[in-house]
Amino acid sequence: MIDLKSVSNPQPRANLEGFLEAAPARLATEGGAGTASAEESRSLKHLAAKGRGEPLRRRSALGGLESILGPTDDRVRILDTDLTPWRMVCALRMRGPSGSAIGTGWFVGPRTLLTAGHCVYSTQFFGSGGWTTEIEVSPGRNGTEFPFKTVKSRSFSSVDRWVKSEDPDFDIGCIHLSEPIGNEVGWFAVAALAPEELQGYLVNVSGYPGDRGAGTEQYHHKNRVLQVTDRRVFYDVDTFGGQSGAPVWIHETDGAPPLAVGIHAYGTGGSPTGLEANSAPRIIPEVLEQIRGWVEADGGWPTRP
């Protein structure tokens, strides 16, 4: 077991009311569909990978912090971002003492988003203090269209293993909102799957890259898990800078809801194994417990009737 502790930025937390009953202890949290349109997404039906399978295509990497793997870029733009699960994915604009940056986040509760640790704390991006000062969150942004309310946050958390040493195995961040936007757009279920259980799944990564749409358009790609270690999952999925913090999710079967298993953070340049793959810190049991703690601190999940 890893002794993992939450670390928050020095900004005062919002005064949240109505603390709700927490989810029972388990190795997964339940997702929420939200109150927005229940129309089925054509993108989800035709583009998202489901279940296990053979690699869609094995390609050579070009390298970089986040990488296009091979001579072609197979990412596809998502246009129905007002539908689930795309609306649970948010375009982020981070502002800090040294300037601004773009990233991706996703809802895990009504007021709680996950993202990469370096989107909330990075001495490289945000100076010696490390913490970003403000993040603008736009759920399901589609270019110049904003299907849902854009909100700003000054309240962030990460884990001690990231803040103390920026350990890539724990590149995990959290954004706390004062408004329960997730009740409308929904949130991902999150699971801590064992390495042998995760191996072989087809995974999805969707976020807001800087090379296409300058962080305003959502792009998705899918492919198979290539390798799973104790704390990371590696996959042959195209990404680019700005997609850091995107959800890495599976559908256990065709028709099953999305289940997030990692937080996208690195390209081949971040692979300690030399494997030509992009990668994410895995949702391990200790990380799942921390996610549950963040959601509970933000007011929890709605209780079921």
DSSP string, the chain: -----EEE-SSPPP----PPPPPPSSSBPPPB--SS--PPPHHHHHHS--SB-S-S-------SSS---SSS---EE---TTSTTGGGEEEEEEEETTEEEEEEEEEEETTEEEE-GGGTB-HHHH-TT-B-SEEEEEET-BTTB-SS--EEE-EEEEEHHHHHH--GGG--EEEE-SS-THHHH-B-EEB---HHHHTTBEEEEEE--SSSGGGTS-EEEEEEEEEE-SSEEEE-----TT-TT-EEEE-SSTTPPPEEEEE--B-GGG-TT--SSEEEEB--HHHHHHHHHHHHHTT-PPPP-
- Does the annotation mark 46 as catalytic? no
**Per annotation, catalytic residue among 244, 264, 271, 279:** 244
Residues in the chain: 305
**Per annotation, catalytic residue among 118, 220, 221, 251:** 118
Closest by CA to 118, choosing from 170, 184, 59, 46, is: 170
Closest by CA to 202, choosing from 46, 50, 47, is: 50
> Do residues 134 and 153 lie in contact, with contact meaning Cβ atoms separated by under 8 Å?
yes
The pLDDT of residue 249: 98
> Do residues 172 and 157 lie in contact, with contact meaning Cβ atoms separated by under 8 Å?
no
Domains and CATH numbers, the chain: 43-83+189-281 (2.40.10.10)
One digit per residue, the tens of pLDDT, for the chain of length 305 reads 788 889 898 754 433 332 223 333 448 899 999 999 999 999 999 899 999 876 555 544 444 445 555 557 889 999 999 999 999 999 999 998 888 899 999 999 999 999 999 999 998 888 888 999 999 999 999 999 999 999 999 999 999 999 999 999 999 999 999 999 999 999 999 999 999 999 989 999 999 999 999 999 999 999 989 999 999 999 999 999 999 999 999 999 999 999 999 999 997 665 555 678 899 999 999 999 999 999 999 999 998 65
The pLDDT of residue 220: 97
The pLDDT of residue 3: 83
**Cα distance between residue 243 and residue 23, in whole Å:** 29
Count Cβ atoms below 10 Å from residue 194 Cβ, excluding itself.
11
The pLDDT of residue 66: 52
> Do residues 68 and 209 lie in contact, with contact meaning Cβ atoms separated by under 8 Å?
no
The answer for residues whose C-beta is within 8 angstroms of residue 291's C-beta and 6 or more apart is: 29, 108, 112, 114, 174, 190, 283
The pLDDT of residue 23: 35
The pLDDT of residue 256: 94
Give the pairing of strands 155-159 and 6-8. antiparallel
The pLDDT of residue 68: 57
* 162 phi/psi in degrees, rounded to 5: -85, -50
The pLDDT of residue 71: 59
> Do residues 280 and 210 lie in contact, with contact meaning Cβ atoms separated by under 8 Å?
no
- Does the annotation mark 244 as catalytic? yes
